[in-house]
Chains A and B, each alone.
Chain A
Amino acid sequence: MSSASSPVYDFPGGIYPPENKSKSLRGPIRTTALPPQLWVAVTQPGFAMPLLCVQAGEHVDKGQLLARGSDSAGLLVHAPAAGLISSITEHAIPNASNLPELCVVIDTDAADSNWHKLLPLDWRDAAPDLLVERIAAAGICGLGGGGFPTHQKLHAALQQVDTVILNAAECEPFITADEALLREHAADVVTGCLILLQITGANQCLIGIEDNKPAAIAALRQHCTDGRLRVVIIPARYPSGAERQLIQTLTGKEIPSGSLPVHSGILCHNAGTARAIARAVVYGEQLLSRITTLTGAALLEPGNVEVLIGTPVDFLLQQAGVDQQQLSRLFCGGPLMGIELPHAQLPVTKTTNCIIATTQRELPRPPPMQACIRCGLCADVCPVQLLPQQLYWFARSSELEKAEAYHLHDCIECGACAYVCPSHIPLVQYYRSAKADIRDAHARQQRADHAKQRFEVHQQRVALEHAQESRRRTERAALAQPALPAAGNNTSAQDVVAAALARIQAKKAAQASAPTVGKDEPA
Chain B
Amino acid sequence: MTPDLLLTATLVLLALALVCGSVIAIASMRRPTGNIPLVDRINHLLPQTQCGQCGHPGCKPYAVSIAAGGAINKCPPGGKTTIAALAGLLGVDTLPLDASHGVEGIRKVAYIREPECIGCTKCIQACPVDAILGSAKHMHTVIMSECTGCDLCVAPCPVDCIDMIPAQTPLQRWHWWQPHNQVLIATDRLPRVRV
CB distance from B164 to the nearest CB of A (A): 16
Tell whether B49 is near chain A: CB-to-CB under 8 Å. yes
- Whether B130 pairs with A448 at a CB distance below 8 angstroms is no
B175 lies within 8 A of chain A by Cβ: yes
- Return the contact of A365 from the options B49, B171, B174, B190 (Cβ within 8 A): B190
A454, B190: Cβ atoms under 8 Å? no
B130 touches A458 (CB 8 A): yes
A58 within 8 A of B: no
Given known A-B contacts A45-B171, A426-B179, A432-B175, A454 and B130 have beta carbons under 8 A apart: yes
- Within 8 Å by CB of A451, from B44, B129, B177, lies B129
Q: Smallest CB-CB separation from A395: which chain B residue?
A: B178
CB proximity of A504 to chain B, nearest CB, Å: 44
Interface string of B31-45 (1 = CB under 8 A from A): 000000000000110
B50 at the interface (CB under 8 A from A): yes
Indicate if the CB atoms of A361 and B193 lie closer than 8 Å. Answer: yes
| Contact status B175-A452, CB under 8 Å | no
Chain A CB within 8 A of B128 CB = yes
Q: Is B141 an interface residue (CB 8 A)?
A: no
Which of A21-29, A205-213, A437-445 is near enough to bind chain B? A437-445
Given A364-B193, A368-B184, residue A429 in contact with residue B179 (CB < 8 A): yes
Inter-chain contacts of A432 with B (CB < 8 A)? 175-176
A residues 1-49 near B (Cβ < 8 Å) are: 43, 45-46
In the assembled complex, the Cα of A435 lies from the Cα of B175 at a distance in Å of 9
A101 at the interface (CB under 8 A from B): yes
Residues from chain B with a CB closer than 8 A to the CB of A494 are none
Residues on B with C-beta less than 8 A from A365 are: 190
* A258 CB within 8 Å of chain B: no
Question: A429 to B178, alpha carbons, bound, how many Å?
Answer: 6
Closest to A441 in B: B81
Q: Which A375-395 residues have C-beta < 8 A from chain B?
A: 395
A159 at the interface (CB under 8 A from B): no
Q: How large is the interface on A (under 10, 10 to 19, 20 to 34, 35 or more residues)?
A: 35 or more
Contact B178 A444 (CB under 8 A): no
Q: How far is the CA of A452 from the CA of B146 in the complex (A)?
A: 11
Contact among B43, B47, B177 with A433 in the assembled complex (CB-CB below 8 Å):
B177
- Name the interface residues of B67-110: CB closer than 8 Å to any CB of A: 81
Q: Are B129's CB and A455's CB within 8 A?
A: yes
Interface centre among A97, A99, A435, A455 (most CB of B within 10 A): A455
Least CB distance from A413 to B in Å reads: 10
Q: Give A96's nearest chain B residue, CB to CB.
A: B176
Is the C-beta of A115 less than 8 angstroms from some C-beta in chain B? Answer: no
- The verdict on B172 contacting chain A, using a C-beta distance below 8 Å, is yes
Contacts A426-B179, A429-B179, A452-B48; A99 near B146 (Cβ below 8 A): no
Asked if B2 lies at the interface with its beta carbon under 8 angstroms from chain A, I say: no
With contacts A361-B193, A454-B146, A455-B129 taken as known, whether A368 is within 8 angstroms of B188 at the C-beta atoms is yes
| Distance to closest chain A CB from B75 (angstroms) | 11
Known: A43-B171, A368-B188, A458-B130. A449 touches B179 (CB 8 A): no
A364 to B148 alpha-carbon distance, docked (Å): 47
Interface of B with A (CB < 8 Å)?
43-44, 46-50, 58-59, 81, 127-131, 146, 148, 171-172, 174-179, 181-182, 184, 188-190, 193, 195
Q: 6 closest pairs, A vs B, by CB?
A: A436-B175, A432-B176, A451-B48, A454-B129, A97-B174, A448-B48
- Report which A residues bind B (CB closer than 8 A): 43, 45-46, 95-97, 99, 101, 359-361, 364-365, 367-369, 395-396, 425-426, 429-430, 432-433, 435-437, 439-441, 444, 447-452, 454-455, 457-458, 461
Q: A396-B178, A430-B179, A457-B130 are in contact. List 8 more A-B contacts (CB 8 A).
A: A45-B171, A95-B171, A369-B179, A425-B179, A432-B176, A444-B47, A449-B44, A458-B130
